[in-house]
Amino acid sequence: MSYDLNGRTVAVTGAGGGFGVALAEALRAEGARIALLDQDADRVHAQATRLGDTRTARGWATDVRDLHQLTTVMSEVREHFGSLDVAIAAAGVLGPVTALSATTDTDWDRVIEVNLGGVWRTFKAAAPHVTEQRGHLLAMSSMVGYIHPPMLGAYAASKAGVWALCNALRLELRTSGVTVGSVHPIIFRTPMIRDALDNPAATELVNGFSGVFQTVPLHTVVADIIRGLKQRSARVITPRRLRAAALAPGLAQALAERAYFRPTTIRHAVELGALATPRPDPAKPTA
């Protein structure tokens, strides 16, 4: 039976980024009421105005690294709209594309705190209200959560963790009527991805591992998420032809290592990364 989004209240973290904007627009087109959560208050307030009046869309300044703030905001969303049916944990950062030797503890902590910790905090803050509605929790993972490329250790670990967390919570919350899903797309172009991949090491990876680092249009990912929400799917895979990778991640990882992650290409990418001039991480948290 289809889960009708019309009239449902959906909270989206990371709503100020390119992906969050497109997802919010698609949800409004389905008739959902949207709570836009992001660190950039001006951006989500302006976006809410574009999507409708305060009865259908409203923005909140929110940092997914702050559980107290998230808890307060989710309560305000529930009070403002009268319910909270769906929470989508979409805030994320890629972090620098670099080898272990060049990864700092600051880089590591930031990616894990936003991508994995942010999902846990979002779900923890939203769960009491979503449970009232027997609703749905959804988190952005990645195909990188199944197939782990080199030089993206923190990102791969965070996205694999999101998948594992969703699997655990799905069992935990089943008896309360709440469903839990994770989204696993291949790379899709957003400003965050474009900036983060704009360095020689990342270019080497993308060119060398073309069988893994394919791209899909943003609208395809959004359409698959909407379809997954309506079906309350446990997993949303984009493109859908890669669903087998979700069923056998261990096998997919082994095949990818043998077919695409060649030692010479990896070594070259690591060398290029070591030669690159250090610069600030261009990926800004869209929490």
What would the pLDDT profile of 173-189 be if each residue is shown by its tens digit? Answer: 988 999 999 999 987 66
Q: Would you list the domain boundaries of the chain?
A: 9-275
CA–chain centroid gap for 62, Å, is 16
What are 69's two structure tokens? 């703030």
- 9-275: CATH architecture: 3-Layer(aba) Sandwich (3.40)
Quick one: average pLDDT of 8-29? 96
Tens-place pLDDT, residues 194-214: 665 666 776 666 665 555 556
> Which of the residues 3, 146, 155, 260 is marked catalytic?
155
Quick one: average pLDDT of 60-76? 98
Q: Residue 67: what pLDDT? A: 98
Contacts 24+ apart (CB under 8 A), 217-222: 217/188, 217/189, 218/18, 218/19, 218/22, 218/188, 218/189, 218/190, 219/22, 220/188, 221/19, 221/183, 221/185, 221/188, 222/19, 222/22, 222/23, 222/26
Say yes or no to pLDDT of 267 above 80.
no
Q: How many CB atoms lie within 10 A of CB 239?
A: 14
Are residues 159 and 144 in contact, defined by beta-carbon separation less than 8 angstroms?
yes
Q: Residue 1: what pLDDT? A: 63
What are 52's two structure tokens? 């409708």
Q: Residue 255: what pLDDT? A: 74
Residue 241 or 110, more confident: 110
Q: What is the mean pLDDT of the chain?
A: 87
d(CA 164, CA 141): 10
Among 14-18, 114-118, 166-170, 201-205, whose mean pLDDT is lowest? 201-205
Tens-place pLDDT, residues 145-174: 988 888 889 999 999 999 999 999 998 998
The strands making up 136-140's β-sheet, listed across from edge to edge, are: 57-61, 33-38, 9-13, 86-89, 136-140, 179-185, 235-238
Q: Residue 282: what pLDDT? A: 46
Quick one: average pLDDT of 243-251? 73
Question: Does residue 146 carry a catalytic annotation?
Answer: no
Quick one: average pLDDT of 250-255? 70
Say yes or no to pLDDT of 73 above 60.
yes
% pLDDT > 90, the chain: 62
